[in-house]
Each structure stands twice: as structure tokens, then as C-alpha cells.
Structure 1
Amino acid sequence: MKKTQVKRSEAFPFKYKERYPLEYVRQYPHLRCRTNTLGSILRVRSEATDAIHSFFKTNGYIHIHTPVITSNDCEGAGELFQVEPSSKVKEPGKNFFDVPAFLTVSAQLHLEVMSGAFSQVFSFGPTFRAENSQSRRHLAEFYMVEAEMSFVESLQDIMQVMETLFKVTTETVLSSCPEDVELLHKFVAPGQKDKLEQMLKNKFLIISYTEAIETLKKASQNFTFTPQWGADLQTEHEKYLVKYCGNIPVFVINYPLDLKPFYMRDNEDEPQHTVAAVDLLVPGVGELFGGSLREERLHLLQQRLARLGLTDTYQWYLDLRRFGSVPHGGFGMGFERYLQCILGVDNIKDVIPFPRFPHSCLL
């Protein structure tokens, strides 16, 4: 009987007991979950998911299933995937939903609706950004953990929940799947264990956006983007600030009003004119959390929406204030960036089972 020679391209791409770079196994999205490294990452992902749900349940939050298809652009950045029926179903000149519909970029506005009925709510689901980016920390489809809390009047209250969520979830993951975390810290990110211990044992730091800009201006490092007041912080700025703070996670608070979406609470601090916004920056990743107090004062919100030409679009949002509101706020955490942070995985494409990014939608 003639022996058939298997072509190299037909051979199984991974050899038993051999360890491969994550960049290599990424070429085989249908097979890479069979490797030890991806197996460990996905088990950690599962445990972290459970730990996050447990944290919110323990603290009295109601889990809300927010829609994936929406007519709102919460972030206002215009990086939206529009949803349309196939050509066989679509009627010429008509929208399926009567209005343009998009894949959600955030559950926040829907959670604000629910926070008027339940004082503490959260969601954990897929979100979508049509960013034409091939960076190591961006995906077209990723998971967001978002929470909204009523009767919150201080950024300190929001930051406390952010820090506690990070630490409690991480400690739960470390205790529930130590072998998987150890494998990743040993073979994928040597030194990450010590960095993580530093993050867990230290109180997170707080600086203002203005202080951050002044720190960046004094830096000896040359930045691609020149730091200046009124401009957004870039990834290189975020990573420098974390390093400057001794690799301890740092909250940056009170951003310029013009940088942020319409719903953030005005600090009324002329002439700077900032809003009560907060980002949490962490080692190796940069921004992990973003949050704010929401503008609950109807007249100020009306003025801002009118200035932006959004009054008609967000009449329903004004109703949330018009028919009874309370001070409230919330935040969102990128789940894949969280996994990158605790495991030391360099590329966000390696902490999600089936990554979606520009020019790649395999399987």
C-alpha cells in the first residue's frame, strides 16, 4: 500500500508540548483554543466574568440586558457600525426601524434609564467601534462592564467602586485559577506577578487632568503628540503618567468640557470649564476605566444639547430629568483591557476567543 505524504499545509499547526508565540497561534482562530496558553487565557476570562457578576450581585446591583442594536451614539465619536437588512429584505429609501440603527458603542444611556427605577444597575456585554485601528489595545468588537449608580454626588464614590471592582475581581481570579495565571505570568509575561501585586496592595492615586498636562510638559521624554491643555491624552501620555506614578494605577479627573460627551456634569469652574469625568490608567495598558457624574440639572443639559444641535434627538433623555431625577454617575471598563492588565498579555487580540479588527472577521 502506497504511503500518502501529508503536505505541510495540511499538517496540524501545533506540535505536542511545544510552546508557540501568541502572534503565531493567532493565525489559526479555529484551532488556537487547543493550545495551553490560549486555554489558560480563556479559563481566566471565564473566571473573571463570573467574578464580575458576583461582585455586582453581592453589592446589590441589578443586571440589565441592554440592546445591541440602538439609535443612539453614546460617545458622540461617530465610530458606528450601521445596521441594515440585506438587499433582499430592504425596501428602497426606507429604514427597517424607521430611524438609522447602529451596533451599540455603550450601554450607558440605557443604564441611565434603568437607574431611575433601580438605584444600582450594571450590564456586561458586547460593544462595537468602527475604529480603523490595528493597535494592540483596540478591537472592533469587545466586551464592556458598565455600571450606573443613583444618589452619587462625588467622583470619589465612583472611583471607590472602580478600585474595589478591580481588586476584588482580580483577587478572586488569582484564587480560583492560580495554575492558569501562573503559566501566563511565567511564559507570556515574566515579571507581571510582581506588578500585579503592587497594583493590589497600593491605594490608587488621583491627579487632575490639569496636573497631568503639567507633568507631561515637564517630561524629558519626547512625545509624538505634544501635550497641551484642551487636547485629549494619547496612549503614550497615559503610559508615561502611570510610570511617573510608580506603576500604581492612577485616576485622572476633571477633563475639559469640550473633550467629553454632552451628559457629563459641568464643574462650573470658569475659566477652565471642566466636567466631573474620570479615567483610570493602569500599567501596560493605559486607560482601563472611564466614568463621570452625569448632568442631572435640566436647564444646563438643555443648554448643552441646544448648543450641539442634539435637542430633538435626545428629548427622551431630557424627560429623565424633567420627570424626576437624582444626582447619579457611572463608569465603563473594557473587559479585554482588564485581562491584558492582570495577565500581562501584550495584544488585545489574544484575550478574546474570536477577535474582530479592520480587515479581519474570520469564522
Structure 2
Amino acid sequence: MFGARCMCLFLRRCSSVPCAKHAASTKLLRVREALEVQDPTGGDVRVQGWVHSVRSQKQILFLHVNDGSSLESLQVVADPGLESRELTFGSSVEVQGKLIKSPHKRQNVELAADNIRVVGPCDVLAFPLKYKTRHPPEYLRQFPHFRCRSNSLSALLRIRSEATSAIHSYFKENGYIHVHTPILTSNDCEGAGEVFQVEPANEVREPGENPHFFNVPAFLTVSGQLHLEVMAGAFTKVFTFGPTFRADNSQSRRHLAEFYMVEAELSFVESLQDLMQVMEDLFKKVTNTVLSKCSHDVELFHKHVAPGQEAKLEQMLKNTFIIMSYTEAIEILKRARQEFTYKPEWGQDLQSEHERYLVQHCGRIPVFVFNYPYDLKPFYMRDNEDGVHHTVAAVDLLVPEVGELCGGSLREDRVDFLQPRLQRLGLEDTYQWYLELCRFGSTPHGGFGMGFERYLRTILGVENIKDVIPFPRFPNSCVL
């Protein structure tokens, strides 16, 4: 049978004279589309992509070609006479031939090539990615222009794409309006001062002229929340999904200077429980969609990058998330036998070590921690008016390994509470427009944000946040 297949390929090659017109009329398939064909009829097709392996035998030539649409490559079988010096690992090719049933159990179809054209040759000796080598993430980060060709990052990018689509679908199906909030902004929503200021390069200003391009200091956004609050005053439920920036001089596995945030704002909301429900539903429904549509890509991470993560994720999805107050969380931490670097005390912010312990204490099920101390949080969080332990209606969602995944709150819509607080902070003039929102047709409202890269770390088990984004930006590194 093997010899008969070789002879068939040889005869087809001898009797076929490929031409540009014939190639253009041949159906172009993505690799994923070709692999999904259940009953190939031997029709003429074309595939374009990059060579993942070349194996030449005396009577037959084997190629594996991928175009990024699938974790699995498409096997190409050809007459050895079609091989050339330029047909190497990493080269880009266009293959024309017939899609046929494969005799091998591991694959349903293969492409019997009539013609192989090397579009772009690749010097395998100089190419930084090596055949049959599993490069560690630290090595791949050195080559941001090539690492998307590795199996791990190509799988990651397909998962990112599917998760992005699922997030948009979730909000659309639940009646939210998508808003493009600005990247350039004059406010610092978080109030931490970790912002990148933006001014034109090498601009010359006349004496006495305002020194700022926009007449006021402008920054790269740290959050679209305040702009969403404006929009929620007209559209009830809104969301945004885009890049955000923090000038946090940290080299940790948890932080980036540029990352993506999913943020939502809802009007006519008076309960933190309502926000928690949206966060939990968003996490579970998006994750189930990703697991369904990217099963092979997710499996690569669960098998080779984070063994055991599949069971941990299943535990998160099948259980209702746990809810506890900040005060309860502090008591649990104080009773812990573990020694913490930062001693847990009421009134102090939870550190990452505290967050990890709380999730571990709760059986590795995600935990909502709510009602944080008033003095820890920004001006826009709603005062709970709760006496001795003065708190605001804020909530964080903590997940295994990662810690904080989502943060949100009910917003302060009462002018008599908001104005004195802004005065004490010296922000009344800056946020006069926010006070006006409260005065003219405001509603009880709230919202939250979810770090997209932290979400990907949570479902895949990736240790370093730099490995779940195509082009990581962090202190001392802005390559490409």
C-alpha cells in the first residue's frame, strides 16, 4: 500500500503541470478547515503556512505545515523530487494538491501534493527556534518577533482570541452597550499616582504658553471606570475592553506596565451581591466557552505547562464562589498558623500572600471579599455608614495562585457624602463633573474590572503574566 501511494504521487506529478491560473482557481483552505474535513473527496485544494517539520525518505517526502489556525499541523505527502534546499523547518510555503483520507490512525486527512512552492526560505542554522525543541518561556521572550511561531504562544493567542469573543458575547447577550473609553485621560481613577504622563516629543512651546499639549496634564489610562460611569447614566449597562497602563516599577510575575481590562458599569444597582453574580457568571460562562472551542490548545497548557490545573479549574467551575467580609478575612488570617511577611491587621490592605492563603483556606474555590475599610479605598466607593468599623461597599474576587482577579464597588451617588470627601482629599475642583453627575438624574450604580491577563493565568495555570500577552511591557523592557 505504501509503495502504491508513492507511485500514485509520482504519476500525478508527472501528468500535472501547475500554472498560476490553475493555482488561483484551486480552493484555499486554512489548516484547521482541512483537518476538520471528515470525508475527503480528493478535490484540489491549496494550503499556505509555515513548515513545522520536513522528513524525506527514499520514496516519499513528508511535511507538516501549519498556518496558526490549529494546534495540530496538516501532514503533506509528496514525491521526493519536489524537495528543494529551501524547503526547511521555518520556511513559508504554498502547497497545492488533493485532500485525501490518511491511512494513519493519528490523522483523518492528509494533503497529497502536486506542487510545493517555497514562498519565504528560512536559514535553520540562524533561526532562533529549533526543530523539536520545547523552548522555555524565558528564552522565547527574547524573540518577540518569532515567539508567536512556538506551539505554546500560538495556542495562547488562539485562546486569547476566543476568550475575547466570548467576553463580548456575554455582555451583548445580557444587554450591555460596548463603549470605547479613551486611552488618553486627564484623571487618575485609582488615585495611586502610578501613571504614564503623555506629552509630545521635542515640542517647542512659546514663552508664556501653556506647557501641556492638552492644556492640562494627560496620562495613559489606568481604568475606563469613570468614563463608563458617565455612559451608565444614559445606557444603564455598559462595558469596555481595552488596554490600560500602570507605571508600577515591579518585576514580579503578577504585574505589567500595559495590560487589558474588562470593565462593566450598571445603573440601578443597590447590592454588592448583584455585582458578585455578574463577576461569577462572566468567569464561568467565558471559561466554559473557551474550554469548548479551544480544547486542544487548553490541553497543551494543562498537560505540559501546568499539570493538575485541569482539576483545579474544574473545582472553580462546579462550585459556587465563597463570600466573606473583609473583617472575617482578617480574623481567618490572624488565626492562621502560617507566618506572614506582612502581619494581618484590620485597616491594612490584603497582600498577595494573604489573598493566596484565603483561597487555600476555602478549598481553592474563588472567594469574594467585601466591605473594605473606608480609608483604604478611592473617593467613589459608597460609604456603608457602619459605625466602629467604617467600611465602603467594595468587593474583590480572589482566585487560586493569582490572587485578586476582579475588583469592584457600589459607587457613591449621594452628594452630601461625596462632596465632603472630595474636599478633604483636595479633589473637589478636579471632580466637579463627577459631583454634577450625582446632582442631575443619578441612580444607585456600581461596577467592576477584571484583568484579562490574570484571567488567562487563572484558567491556564501559567506562572508568569508576561507569558499570556503577545508583547509584554514591563520595567526596562519595551521590545518592538
TM over 0.5: yes
CA contact (8 A) 2:359 2:400 kept: yes
What secondary structure is seen at the aligned counterpart in 2 of 1:83?
coil
Distance 1:231 1:177, change over 3 A: same
- TM-superposed deviation, 1:17: 2.3
**What's the counterpart of residue 189 of structure 2?**
74
Contact 1:145–1:333 (CA under 8 A) maintained in structure 2: yes
- Could you tell me how far apart the structure 1 residues matched to 2:204 and 2:461 are? 46
- Of 288, 310, 313, which aligns to 2:427? 310
Q: 1:40 aligns with which of 151, 155, 160?
A: 155
Q: Is the 8 A contact 2:415 2:439 kept in 1?
A: yes
Matched ranges for 1:89-238 at <5 A: 90=205, 94-238=211-355
Number of positions where the alignment pairs a residue of Structure 1 with one of Structure 2: 356
* Aligned residues of 1:84 and 1:90 also touching (Cα < 8 A): no
Gap runs ≥5 in structure 2: 1-122
The answer to whether the aligner puts 1:332 opposite 2:454 as a matched pair is no
Tell me the residue number matched to 1:348: 465
Q: Higher relative contact order by CA 8 Å / sep ≥ 6: 1 or 2? A: 1
Q: Deviations over 1:59-82 (max 9, x none)?
A: 000000000000001000000100
Q: Shift of residue 88 of structure 1?
A: 3.3
**Secondary structure of the corresponding residue to residue 301 of structure 1:** helix
Using the alignment, how far apart are the partners of 1:175 and 1:27 within structure 2?
Answer: 32
- Closer, same or farther in 2 for the Cα pair 1:89/1:122, shift >3 Å? farther
**Alignment partner of 1:333: what SS?**
strand
1:51 matched to 2:144: no
Counterpart code for 1:295: E
| Post-superposition CA distance 1:136-184 (Å, at most 9, x none) | 0100000000000001000000000000000000000000110000111
Letter paired with 2:383: D
Amino acid at match of 1:176: K
**Secondary structure of the equivalent of 2:404?**
strand
Return the TM-score normalized by structure 1: 0.96
In the aligned structure 2, how far is the partner of 1:97 from the partner of 1:70?
10
Cα distance in 2, alignment partners of residues 65 and 338 from structure 1: 21
Return the offset for 1:10: 7.1
Report the CA distance between 1:12 and its aligned residue: 1.5
1:284 to 376, 401, 404: 401
Q: 2-side partners of 1:17 and 1:253: how far apart?
A: 49
Counterparts of 1:298 and 1:88, CA distance in 2: 41
Distance 1:259 1:265 in 2: 13
Q: Could you tell me the TM-score, scaled by structure 2's length?
A: 0.73
- Code of the residue aligned with 1:58 in structure 2: it is E
Distance, in Å, in 2 between the alignment partners of 1:78 and 1:270 is 30
Output the CA distance in 2 between the equivalents of 1:90 and 1:14: 48
2:199 paired residue number = 84
AA partner of residue 304 (structure 1): R
Amino-acid identity (%): 75
Q: What's the CA shift string for 1:164-214, capped at 9, x where partnerless?
A: 000000000000110000111100000000000000000000011011111
| Alpha-carbon distance in 2 for matches of 1:189, 1:43 | 18
Output the amino acid matched with 2:395.
V
Offset of residue 125 of structure 1 = 0.3
Give distance in 2, aligned partners of 1:179 and 1:89.
55
- Following TM superposition, by how much is the alpha carbon of 1:90 offset from its aligned partner in structure 2, in angstroms? 5.0
Answer with 1 or 2: which has the greater Rg.
2
Deviation at 1:115, TM superposition (A): 0.3
Query: What is the Cα deviation at residue 256 of structure 1?
Result: 0.2
Are the counterparts in 2 of residues 90 and 96 from structure 1 also a CA contact under 8 Å?
Answer: no
Q: Pick from 26, 30, 35: which aligns with 2:145?
A: 30
Q: 2:179 aligns with which of 64, 67, 77?
A: 64
Q: Quick one: structure 1 residues 91 and 158, their matched pair in 2 at CA, closer, same or farther if it must change by over 3 Å?
A: farther
- Amino acid paired to 1:274: T
Q: Which residue of 2 aligns with 1:4?
A: none
Contact 1:267 1:273 in 2 (8 A): yes
The alignment partner of 2:135 has SS state of coil
Moved more, 86-95 or 60-69: 86-95
Counterpart residue identity of residue 144, structure 2: P
Contact 2:124 2:130 in 1 (8 A): no
Aligned partner letter, 1:323: F
Query: What residue in structure 2 maps to residue 3 of structure 1?
Result: none
Alpha-carbon separation, structure 2, partners of 1:237 and 1:12:
44
| In structure 2, C-alpha distance between the alignment counterparts of 1:116 and 1:162, rounded to whole Å | 21
Contact map agreement 1:120 1:149 (CA 8 A) in 2: yes
CA deviation map 1:94-122 (0-9, x unaligned): 21101000000000000000000000000
In terms of mean alpha carbon deviation, does 336-345 or 25-34 score higher?
25-34
